[in-house]
Amino acid sequence: MNEIKTTNQVKEITIWASGVVQDAEARDTANCIAAAAAQEGKHVQSFDNYVDLPDRVNVPVRKYARISSEEIQEKYLYENDHPNIVVLVEPALIKGFNILRGMPKGGILVLNTDRNPEELLKFLPNKNLLSAIATIDASKATETIVDDFMDIEGASAKELGRGIGAVLAGAVAKVSGDFTLESLKKVVQNKDAAEKGYRNVKIKKL
């Protein structure tokens, strides 16, 4: 399947998740994406949105990544106002939130769900902004692997890409073409999860 590329000089990636329960997974997804792109010599950023409240259970939170072929001039802006790619760690956030706000035409939406992309379009009043919607069941892909990694002696939260983040980053690599699977596998702990995200993502071009 051909990869779909956006054209802005700085690619903005926004990851939405549910506060506390998915805060670490969302941050890990952003970090995986940025680290993989950095492997290819690109300028990157990865950071939290400090306007959100990650210490409150189930409050929507956002994490951000940026990728550019040149130095990022907007490095001190702490929100992505015009995301080219939106990733939902919690797929229910597609309902009731304008997750595509500010997105320029030709954007990409990636969701952590077992549903087909076509089923989710009805929840997007501004789906005309998208060039593609993609789904991958990242939770299922890592439900046994994560436990194994958590049991490793000395494992810490600083280890990149041990579970859901690696899967979602693999899906983003496939649908966007902004970095390769090979680059992602160089930086994540869970290479099998990254491979599953890349190989199993379902993509609907629009």
Q: What is the pLDDT of residue 158?
A: 60
Q: Which residue has the higher pLDDT, 150 or 54?
A: 54
Are residues 16 and 62 in contact, defined by beta-carbon separation less than 8 angstroms? yes
Residue type, 164: I
pLDDT tens sequence across 128-141:
999 999 999 998 87
- According to CATH, the superfamily of the domain at 10-205 is Pyruvate-ferredoxin oxidoreductase, PFOR, domain III (3.40.920.10)
- Rounded (5°) CA angle 115-120-124: 160
Where residue 55 falls among pLDDT bands split at 50, 70, 90? low
Res. 188 pLDDT band, cuts 50 70 90? very high
Mean pLDDT, the chain, whole residue set: 87
Nearest-CA neighbor of 93 among 113, 72, 75?
A: 113
Q: Sign of the CA dihedral 166, 91, 99, 19?
A: negative
Closest alpha carbon to 169 in 26, 18, 42: 26
Task: Give the integer Cα–Cα distance in Å for 25 and 164.
Answer: 6
**pLDDT at 94 (0 to 100):** 96
Query: What confidence category does residue 14 fall into, taking pLDDT thresholds of 50, 70 and 90?
Result: very high
| Beta-carbon contacts of residue 33 (< 8 Å; ≥ 6 apart) | 13, 46, 65, 67, 169, 172, 178, 179
Q: Indicate the pLDDT class of residue 54, thresholds 50, 70 and 90.
A: low
Residue 36 clears pLDDT 70, i.e. is over it: yes
Report the distance separating Cα 75 and Cα 189, nearest Å: 27
Q: Give pLDDT tens digits for 83-118.
A: 999 999 999 999 988 999 999 999 999 999 999 999
This prediction's pTM: 0.88
Other Cβ atoms within 10 Å of 164 Cβ, number:
28
Residues forming beta bridges with residue 108, ordered by sequence position: 85, 132
Task: Give the pLDDT of residue 151.
Answer: 37
Sequential DSSP letters for 57-100: TT-EEEEEEEEESS--TTTT--S-SS-SEEEESSGGGGSSS-TT
CA-to-CA separations, 156 to 159, 171, 189, in angstroms, rounded: 6, 24, 11
Q: What is the pLDDT of residue 56?
A: 75
Looking at residue 149, what is its pLDDT? 41
Q: CA–CA separation, 42 vs 110, rounded Å? A: 22
pLDDT at 140 (0 to 100): 85
